[in-house]
Amino acid sequence: MVTTVVPNSEEKPSLPAASSSWRLLGSARSRSTALWGLFFVGPQLLGLLVFSLIPVIWAMVLSFMEWGGMGARTFVGLENYRDTFANEDFRAAFWHTVQFTAISVPGSVVASLLIAMLVNNVRFKTIYRVIFFLPTVTSSVAISLVWLWALNGDFGLVNTYLREWFNADPPNWLIERDLVVPIIALVSVWSSLGFNMIIFLAGLQGISPTYHEAAQIDGASRWRQFFNITLPLLSPTIFFVTIISLIGAFQVFDLVYVMTNGGPGNASSTMVYYIYRTAFMDFRFGQSAAIAMVLFVIIMLVTLVQFWGQRRWVHYDD
């Protein structure tokens, strides 16, 4: 996803692709190649059309319409977009999503990198790997239920021990308007830690030990080795994990839907939750499509900014 965005490096660069494609249709042999190609790509091509391209275009068109899912559609121009930006609920959902992302992405990337570094050269590595990976194979609904109970204000695990050990007077986390989003973000860090750790471990394994050996002979401290060798060589992996986490964070839904249903009030409503509500509870399909397009643009911008910024800090071997 990161290094190979330009496909087909083995291709002859001679002709412009489109005209050579037309020429390929000429002879009988190339016609049979075309048929084989169609045969193999066929099923996924059908899926691409029916479940991705047509829906995207349709969603764009819908975003300029008012439609309740049945009956007449009326063209309303940019009204849905204007309504979206003027809407308090949307602004709240947007802000909560940003807040969630700002906590969960750095939190998860840093923590999982740290744990991967620690796990990498330690005994019982397998056991640690298995344990940290547990939430990845657990359904997010089950995770939400378990944390809902653990964070229960009166009898939850967290508060019981905070009172018992620290004599604290802890709040009811998921009912406090200011705390609910950070808390959900922390649960998200907890549950995404293991997956990111595995990707980092794979990245660390790809670093040739000769670099560290040479640095050790030169007397470089662990600290310097980390900053001058490990981090630069791991930067493509860090970039990959960051991008994946960012895109995922902007689409957070399950935790919010199960733990708080966007509440209290709309204090934990996120963009995707708001899209879901608008379409499938309020049945304002046009409005919801407009919000989804806004989300699409935001995700695209964030991704592009990342790709643009990576040139400054991501180091590729070749």
Partner 1 sequence: MAATVPDFQAERSSYRNSNKIQERVLAGVTHLILIVGALTMIIPFLWMISTSLKDFGQVFMIPPSWIPNPVQWSNYPDSLNALPFARAYWNSTYIAVVVVASQLLTCSMAGYAFARIQFPFRNQLFIIFLATLMIPQQVTIIPTFIIMRNLGLVDNHLSLILPSALFSAFGVFLLRQFIMGLPLELEESATLDGANKLRIYWQIVLPLIKAPLAALAIFSFLGQWNNLFTANIFLSSPDNYTVPLLLNQFKGLYITDWTLMMAAATIAVIPVLIVYIIGQRWIIEGVALTGLKR
* Torsional sign, CA 34, 40, 43, 44: negative
**What amino acid is encoded at 203 in this protein?**
G
By CB under 8 A, the count of residues binding partner 1 is: 111
Nearest residue to 197 (alpha-carbon basis) of 306, 78, 116: 116
7 binds partner 1 (CB under 8 A): yes
Candidates 100-108, 157-165, 176-184, 223-231: pick the segment binding partner 1 (CB under 8 A).
157-165
Candidates 94-102, 156-164, 177-185, 227-235: pick the segment binding partner 1 (CB under 8 A).
156-164
Minimal distance, residue 219 CB to partner 1, in Å: 13
Percentage helix, strand, coil for the chain under 3-state DSSP, each rounded to 5: 70, 0, 25
Minimal distance, residue 188 CB to partner 1, in Å: 14
Tokens linked to 240 = 């990959």
Residues 290 to 309 in contact with partner 1, rule: CB under 8 A: 292-293, 295-296, 299-300, 303
Instruction: Among 78, 145, 214, 305, indicate the residue that binds partner 1 (CB under 8 A).
Output: 145
Candidates 71-79, 94-102, 153-161, 210-218: pick the segment binding partner 1 (CB under 8 A).
153-161
User: Are 252 and 97 a contacting pair, CB within 8 Å?
Assistant: yes
**What amino acid is encoded at 104 in this protein?**
S
173 binds partner 1 (CB under 8 A): no
Instruction: Among 150, 175, 207, 215, indicate the residue that binds partner 1 (CB under 8 A).
Output: 150
Minimal distance, residue 267 CB to partner 1, in Å: 19
User: Are 69 and 283 a contacting pair, CB within 8 Å?
Assistant: yes
Residues 191 to 230 in contact with partner 1, rule: CB under 8 A: 193-195, 198-199, 201-203, 206
Candidates 87-95, 136-144, 173-181, 223-231: pick the segment binding partner 1 (CB under 8 A).
136-144
Minimal distance, residue 206 CB to partner 1, in Å: 7
250 binds partner 1 (CB under 8 A): yes
- Give 175 or 178: the residue with its C-beta nearer to partner 1: 175
Secondary element (H or E) of residue 224: helix 222-225
Candidates 52-60, 72-80, 84-92, 100-108: pick the segment binding partner 1 (CB under 8 A).
52-60
Minimal distance, residue 108 CB to partner 1, in Å: 13
Hey, which bits of 73-141 come out as E strands?
74-75
Q: What one-character-per-residue DSSP string does 147-176 give?
A: HHHHT-TTT-HHHHHHHHHH------GGG-
Cβ neighbours of residue 94 closer than 8 Å, sequence gap 6 or more: 271
Minimal distance, residue 287 CB to partner 1, in Å: 10
- Residue 136 class from Cβ within 10 Å (0-12 exposed, 13-18 middle, 19+ buried)? middle
CA distance 57 to 46: 16
168 binds partner 1 (CB under 8 A): no
Tokens linked to 255 = 């935790």
Minimal distance, residue 76 CB to partner 1, in Å: 16
36 binds partner 1 (CB under 8 A): yes
- Give 19 or 210: the residue with its C-beta nearer to partner 1: 19
77 binds partner 1 (CB under 8 A): no
CA distance 194 to 314: 23
Instruction: Among 15, 78, 110, 157, indicate the residue that binds partner 1 (CB under 8 A).
Output: 157
User: For 208, what's the count of Cα atoms within 13 Å in the CB-facing half-sphere?
Assistant: 4
Minimal distance, residue 55 CB to partner 1, in Å: 4
Nearest residue to 109 (alpha-carbon basis) of 167, 192, 28: 192
